[in-house]
Amino acid sequence: MDTVIVAGGGLAGCEAAWQLARAGIPVKLAEMKPQRFSPAHKSPLLAELICSNSLKAARIESAAGLLKEEMSRLGSLLVPIAKRCAVPAGGALAVDRELFSQMVTEAVEAEPLITLERRELDAIPEGPAVIATGPLTSDTLAGEIEKLCGGGLSFFDAAAPIVTRESIDMERCFTADRYGRGEGDGDYINCPMNKPEYEAFLEALLTAERAPLHGADVNSPKVYEGCMPIEVLASRGRDAIRYGPMKPVGLIDPRTGHRPWAVLQLRTENRENTLYNLVGFQTNLKFGEQKRVFGMIPGLAQAEFIRYGVMHRNTFLDSPKLLNWDFSLRQRPLLYFAGQMTGVEGYMESAASGLLAGRSLARRLQGKEAPPLPDATMLGALSQYVSGYEGKDFQPMGANFGILPPLPGHIRDKRERYGRLAARALEALGEYSKPV
């Protein structure tokens, strides 16, 4: 049996390696950490979470929740681990990121058919392989991929700061979830602002000094909408962030009995609830400016930042011209790509592409060919988008109900419509998964 090389020990690479091993295929998983770290990576563990510790909504009637349910039913490694590492996050599935990475690493290391090799891959393997080295692929391998694929695209991605719980002034904050969706007193710490506080903060944010960007045109970097730096979003209009990450809807300040003018939410990073991230506050401000400007937010005047926000370059393929529905390269059917470099956006979307690539490659090596996943499923629709997008400006895509085929008739109620789309997707997946 051929040994498959999987390049990259992130979410997509770990999921791909796991699927291959579970199908009886030996795998060599090449991960360059800790010998070398990308600008965004800090931990030697596998499946390191960079931007956020949230894996998005948990309920099946949401696009993100549906994707995770589909992954679970297809034998995902990461989704069950994420549920065991969950921390309070209202209606979202957020994880203790250190524990999550530790458990994934232990599972991979314990799998007899996976050999973890701590080395940097500097060439594309000639045999069967999955390239899942992520949007920060090392320069050498990225160059080889560009030669093979005829170039790539680039954009900038940003991460949010993290502060300690004990440094948050709870006299100025309150705990609650939007519309009371969480459990107990609420999973989020909310920092409410009145109008004058918001206006002062906005002015400081717009005039704060940004860190220089390298490796591209720093005057007009391409920034993916799903990870837009807060200062870039704020420049679009005085209420842009009030209708975005600082929206106050569904929240009542118990001290006033009214909805605040704007709210920053803090979400826990770990099970001990000692670390919190500033939700939606991805940024490229200089570190000193982050402390000054974000310190103007009620409750954060004395905040201790254990990680400041950072911004870095990401790259992805022109996948509609290069990849099949299962993320295999059209010109080399035994070479697969997976993860954000294919143009999927989000942690679980990246993992799902690895799951699909691993399953498909395993079947191909066993002399079997699987039909495409039904486009009524979230993973099927996502793979069809990545491989079959027909527009001129291909951009990363996360799970959303807009990529699914519409239901017959018109259902006005959004909750009911999403529920029916989810039910149809799981029914289609069940039919697809039945033994032939």
Query: Could you give the 3-state DSSP secondary structure of residue 422?
Result: helix
Q: What is the dihedral of CA 315, 17, 105, 74, to 10 degrees?
A: 100
CA R_g for the chain: 22
Q: What is the DSSP string of 134-201?
A: -TT--HHHHHHHHHHHT--EEEEEE---EEEGGGS-TTS-EE--GGG-SSTT-SEEEEEE-HHHHHHH
Using DSSP bridges, classify how beta strands 27-30 and 4-7 pair: parallel, antiparallel or unpaired: parallel
Query: Could you give the 3-state DSSP secondary structure of residue 432?
Result: helix
Evaluate whether 379 touches 342 at the Cβ level (below 8 Å). Answer: no
Q: Is the pTM of this model over 0.75?
A: yes
Using DSSP bridges, classify how beta strands 332-337 and 328-329 pair: parallel, antiparallel or unpaired: antiparallel
Query: Could you give the 3-state DSSP secondary structure of residue 350?
Result: helix
pLDDT at 219: 38
Evaluate whether 57 touches 92 at the Cβ level (below 8 Å). Answer: yes
How far apart, in whole angstroms, are the C-alpha atoms of residue 274 and residue 373?
A: 42
Encode 233-255: b = buried (16+ Cβ within 10 Å), e = exposed: bbeeeeebbbeebbbbeebbbee
HEC string of 68-115 equals HHHHHHCCCCHHHHHHHCEECCCCEEEECHHHHHHHHHHHHHHCCCEE
How far apart, in whole angstroms, are the C-alpha atoms of residue 294 and residue 277?
A: 12
A 10 A CB-CB count for 347 gives: 28
Residues of the chain with pLDDT under 50: 215-221, 436
The letter for the amino acid at 61 is: E
From its phi and psi, is residue 232 left (phi > 0), alpha (psi between -120 and 50) or beta? alpha
How far apart, in whole angstroms, are the C-alpha atoms of residue 89 and residue 270?
A: 11
Cis bond before residue 34 (omega within 30° of 0): yes
Computed from CA positions of residues 215, 309, 291, 278, in that sequence, does the dihedral angle turn out positive or negative? positive
Evaluate whether 41 touches 64 at the Cβ level (below 8 Å). Answer: no
How far apart, in whole angstroms, are the C-alpha atoms of residue 18 and residue 6?
A: 10
| DSSP β-bridge partners for residue 130 | 6, 336
Q: What is the dihedral of CA 181, 182, 187, 193, to 10 degrees?
A: 20
Encode 158-184: b = buried (16+ Cβ within 10 Å), e = exposed: bbbbbbebeebeeeebbbbbbeeebee
Q: How many residues in total does the chain contain?
A: 436
pLDDT at 220: 42
Cα distances (angstroms) measured from residue 229 to each of 206, 283, 284, 299 = 12, 4, 7, 21
pLDDT at 187: 84
The letter for the amino acid at 111 is: E
How far apart, in whole angstroms, are the C-alpha atoms of residue 1 and residue 64?
A: 36
